[in-house]
Amino acid sequence: MSTVLIVANQTLDAAPLRYVESRLSDDAATEFKLLVPVIHRMHESRPAASFGNVPQMVLMHEASLDEEEAADYAAARARLDLGLDLFRRLGANVDGSVGPSDPYKAIEEVLGRQHIDEVIVSTLPRGVSRWLHLDLPHRIERKFHVPVTVITPV
């Protein structure tokens, strides 16, 4: 059985669903981990890593966040819950978490906690995607020596 980490946010209800459906038809025993990094929509000038190195579990205590950060976290949590529901409807064995706004740090936290066989980065198309602009897929491959596949909605 393999474990696949799917990192998605704005594209959560598109390309990842097709990927999971296809993967399940090839190997129904695949286990999925869904990671939704927080997006700060209201504060484009805020640094990407505003949660710093705070572990995801600490972020669950929303009382320690200011009102705007709490709203951003709640939006990411809602996207995570939607994704988990959609994947489970396909028959996937899936769990997930909300991570820091810096997608690299979010992935690093997950890979530091558990073994992952493959990382899927679901992102907006090149030219629009901040994650591709940050060279996220190649950085993950180089540091963690795990295959990374980029999927985009069509």
Question: Structural domain boundaries of the chain?
Answer: 3-151
Q: What CA–CA distance (Å, rounded) separates 9 from 80? A: 8
Confidence of residue 119 (pLDDT cuts 50, 70, 90): very high
Check residue 61 and give its pLDDT: 45
Statement: residue 154 has pLDDT above 60: yes
Burial of 115 (0-12, 13-18, 19+ CB in 10 A): exposed
Indicate the CATH number of 3-151 among 3.20.20.100, 3.40.50.620, 3.40.50.300, 3.40.50.2300.
Answer: 3.40.50.620
Share of the chain above pLDDT 70, in %: 84
By the 8 A CB rule, do 88 and 28 touch? Answer: no
Check residue 117 and give its pLDDT: 96
DSSP character string of 67-100: HHHHHHHHHHHHHHHHHHHHHHHTT-EEEEEEE-
Q: Give me the chain's average pLDDT, please.
A: 84
Cα radius of gyration rounded to whole Å, the chain: 15
pLDDT tens digit sequence for 71-106? 899 999 999 999 999 999 999 999 999 999 999 999
pLDDT tens digit sequence for 34-52? 999 998 764 333 333 333 3
